Chains A and B, each alone.
Chain A
């Protein structure tokens, strides 16, 4: 292939390297004022009175926005501003002033009387009889809000790590669980905790908005681009055609900026009220409040293994910490991950989604999958040890292939090559030799070897592509994909260039600004973009190719089938002298009009693509299509991490000596981009395994971690400067270039690998919780009981 599998330089890199990249807060507008938020100091309260008169009297203050000025969404949805804050940091009002200092000074003069309401920062506190509910409407959220309390015995039993007996509102199962356990020779029961923690986007979610000729302009920070439009438009009160959304760069979202978030609409409402552009720069601390966090798990697992090492049955029970607003899905995804990674005969998932007065939760890289593999993969090791099977081998013999089934409905996959991936990794990493170093002592240090797997579904379908060839021969690849940092907005367009067989230097990627006419796109999350939008780009480019052939036939004679393309020309296969350049074909397209120049949109394309088409029609040859290619199942994304650590038994600190990531994501489209995903995912995974924290004080509901230095994501000094990677590079049959996604498993594999290595270094001891911090190790080695129960959260 000409482009697929080759490195290239995505165009936004120049801006990032030179500092010319414009993130949301780098934009300005004539007459712009600055808004600042007054947020709740209490975890749950009701506004009794609100007096902003002194604040408004401050010279330079332009206006105030209160909950009464913005639409209110019913619980558990979040609103832009609220009179009933449900977590510390929930925005109550905003003040705009000529500069931020003036706005901040004015905020100090705001008088708000709050009535404190009962709050819960631990799900199990809320589940107790008469326990506090996070909202007056209840304490659990399934499809709707409800209230659930266990009896004391059920709570205590659960907190003690014993098999839960309380009914769970969410339950699914496939297979015969009892038969699965009957067939098992090893049955493991473990309780576990994977607390949620913040997304920690480097760029806080700042927003600029203004109104011009009835159109609302929003400059924001989101993972997605075109996907934002139909959801943000109603939030600011306009039709999508009257919304201009610019999100050319995004300084990290990690799941927290997939869709528009309530605060994103605040400047638009404020700008409308005061008649001036409004910039809202979010502070680092505020990012920890409104920037969301991973859903926390407290759970229990029973897993059965047959004598030959097959996982026969898995029973999962998960209490989810949802925070105070709409969230969830992680537990089901956890069950799904177990179902595909190990192909058990039977799986039951029970889940209790409990709301707490902590920071709102949202999907975070591998939401559910990465929590469960962090605890299940060390259990695989435990089973392997008991069965006398090599730890890599037990994964291989359970590994999914292209006949794999997943989830409650046991649906098919497009393809899966995990056995090949495990074999590839094992060889490249020299598992046979390195695994012998397991437990080797070097003074006070001990070597731990780990292998971990990660999974996430990695591909959607049904979205649109838009390719435009102009009479100058330039090829404009319109990408509605957001620039979330993975370069997928660019690398997916390589599929269009591949289909057009053209040189890359003739292509321009058009992205990052809805006024540039961008087609309907999936959200940039769920590891789907590579699969989804190589397809959409392929079908749009194929449409352009077909149109060129038709134009050539119309112009030069014969049938479209008589023509082919070579990247520069469309030519008659029997007589290559009869040809049109792409530019000539584009000029002809304009002349011919109709579908050729986008004047007749295909019926099945999305309304957003139709809007985009309206902006480019008549400017060239338009390739536009909805992806209707076949997709026979879930497109899975897998990764495997191999790690060697050296654990210091005296300090509890460990060093990562060596790390290899193996991607099982179909054909490699952009090697550098894939390497970036695998390495970045590994760093994050290391952080989840041993560093990152999210702690609330049960006394007062205050978060202890509202800064990078308190939350402790890994720094460059905490990770190896070099890591290795490899990929199976086996094409997926349901993608025209063979690609699937990889983002989320890249992290989960690393978390699981380190968790396994830490356990390995300690002779198989399972901590059954993340993060495994030095204090846990020091206590364990010293034989000191950990100062918390097996299911406790808020422990560090």
Chain B
């Protein structure tokens, strides 16, 4: 095999407006590649495991950057860096769940370069797929990760459908919890997609992890005030404390009134190809106090239906433990 780790020649477009970028994206379609912080892109390209003909560099588009207050919440440009999100006072004050999730992404250096859009749209980290093997997700007809001898400690315990890869994003579960919406723009206009619908599993689309089409650009993420100042909990369990992907993460938003939980959004990352919403747990905790007893009572609901692979059974007790921790007073 070749040595890799060297960029191929690639045509580079550097638009300065969303309109121009969208026009390029439409024209190039599958042959084009959107470049933001490059933290996912350059690995693919230098390994020559993906070979787009042209790259659309979004760095020059100011409209994609920054955090703005809107009438009913905030809007975050997709090119806003993870560090900016982790440190933004508005996000820290009202939507600290996202700030906390952002602070757990990768490493400080990667957070400085990486963007929110990139963190949400990054491809899965299944090592078989990343190696360039011709698996289902790469257009082939097998999955190397699901066999009895496979190295699948980091893979899915829910939602497998031929492919058992998981979503690697730390911010995705937080944004689903916050009922965020994604704004995707193409030359034909824009559409607003609920975060919960933005991410898709292999049963829906085995080669893409989001509903974003080849001609679309994720331009921003809107967070409504629905969950502003709620009680938040984010925790990421990874082997290392930095520069690592979640084995399992949890992101919760809860509204507590009169000592009991009135509403809750509870999600786990690292267990499915999409952020996994723990609906059964959410339903069960409503009306109960946020305490150990509630945690113990509902934890097992988190993993109903889990189908562990041979190396990732541990994700089941770990998920349940994280639910307990999120519900701890």
Chain A residues packing against B (C-beta within 8 Å) = 36-41, 100-101, 104-105, 107-108, 110, 283-286, 444, 650-653, 691, 695, 697-700, 702, 704, 708-710, 712, 714-718, 773-776, 778-779, 781-782, 784, 787-788, 794-796
Contact = CB atoms under 8 A, between A and B. Distances in A.
B226 interface: no
Interface string B228-249: 0000000101011111100100
Interface in B81-135: 107, 127-128, 131, 133
B38 to A, nearest CB: 15
Closest 4 CB pairs of A and B: A782-B317, A107-B2, A775-B314, A650-B321
Contact of B3 (A38, A708, A782): A38
B242 A717 contact: yes
A39 B144 contact: no
Contact of A787 (B107, B128, B313, B324): B313
A700 B133 CA distance: 11
A796 B314 contact: no
Given A709-B243, A712-B244, A698 B6 contact: no
A708 B240 CA distance: 12
Nearest to A37: B3
Contacts of B133: 702
Contacts of B107: 715
B interface, size bucket: 35 or more
B247 A285 contact: no
A716 B239 CA distance: 14
A353 B147 CA distance: 29
A283 B242 contact: no
Given A39-B3, A104-B2, A712-B240, A779 B314 contact: yes
A774 B4 CA distance: 33
5 contacts: A101-B7, A104-B2, A650-B325, A652-B318, A717-B241
B68 interface: no
A717 to B, nearest CB: 4
A701 to B, nearest CB: 11
Given A39-B3, A101-B8, A704-B127, A695 B240 contact: no
A714 to B, nearest CB: 7
Given A36-B2, A36-B3, A284-B5, A698 B149 contact: yes
B255 to A, nearest CB: 25
A492 to B, nearest CB: 36
A704 B4 CA distance: 16
Nearest to B47: A285
Contacts of B241: 715, 717-718
B5 A700 contact: no
Contacts of B153: 775, 795-796
Given A652-B318, A775-B247, A107 B3 contact: yes
Contact of B2 (A38, A653, A794): A38
B208 interface: no
Interface in B4-19: 4-9
B311 interface: yes
B150 A699 contact: yes
A719 to B, nearest CB: 9
Given A104-B6, A709-B243, 16 more contacts: A444-B325, A650-B324, A653-B237, A691-B239, A691-B240, A695-B151, A704-B151, A709-B244, A712-B239, A715-B243, A778-B314, A779-B313, A779-B314, A779-B317, A784-B317, A787-B310
Interface string B288-326: 000000000000000000000011111011100110110
B3 A104 contact: yes
A710 B127 contact: yes
B144 A699 contact: yes
Contact of A702 (B4, B8, B131, B314): B131
Residue from B147, B243, B321, B325 having most chain A Cβ neighbours under 10 A: B321
Nearest to A788: B311
B111 to A, nearest CB: 13
Given A714-B240, A717-B240, A40 B151 contact: no
B59 interface: no
A784 B240 contact: no
Nearest to A775: B314
A108 B2 contact: yes
A426 B153 CA distance: 39
Interface majority SS on B: helix, strand, loop or mixed? loop
B149 to A, nearest CB: 5
B262 interface: no
Contacts of B7: 101
B189 to A, nearest CB: 39
B71 interface: no
B50 interface: no
A104 B3 CA distance: 7
A714 B151 CA distance: 22
Nearest to A108: B2
Contacts of A284: 5
A699 B148 CA distance: 10
A782 B133 CA distance: 35
Contacts of B318: 650-652, 774-775, 778
Contacts of A715: 107, 240-243
Given A699-B144, A781-B317, A794-B151, A652 B243 contact: no
Contacts of A795: 153, 311
Contacts of A702: 128, 131, 133
Contact of B240 (A107, A108, A283, A718): A718
Contacts of A36: 2-3, 6
A774 B237 contact: yes
Given A650-B325, A773-B239, A775-B153, A100 B1 contact: no
B5 A283 contact: yes
Nearest to B245: A709
Contacts of A697: 128, 144, 149-151
Contacts of A773: 239
Contacts of B194: none
Contacts of B48: 104, 108
B1 to A, nearest CB: 4
Contacts of A40: 1
B326 to A, nearest CB: 11
Contacts of A712: 239-240, 244
A695 B321 CA distance: 27
Contacts of A788: 311
Nearest to A795: B311
B235 to A, nearest CB: 8
Residue from A653, A698, A787 having most chain B Cβ neighbours under 10 A: A787
A783 B313 CA distance: 12
A444 B312 CA distance: 22
A716 B48 CA distance: 31
Nearest to B314: A775
Interface in B190-246: 235, 237, 239-244
A691 B240 CA distance: 7
Contacts of B317: 778-779, 781-782, 784
A272 to B, nearest CB: 22
A108 B144 CA distance: 24
B75 to A, nearest CB: 32
A704 B151 CA distance: 8
A771 to B, nearest CB: 9
Contacts of A782: 314, 317
A485 B133 CA distance: 38
Residue from B131, B149, B322 having most chain A Cβ neighbours under 10 A: B131
Contacts of B316: 784
Contacts of A775: 153, 247, 312, 314, 318
A384 B51 CA distance: 60
A714 B244 CA distance: 11
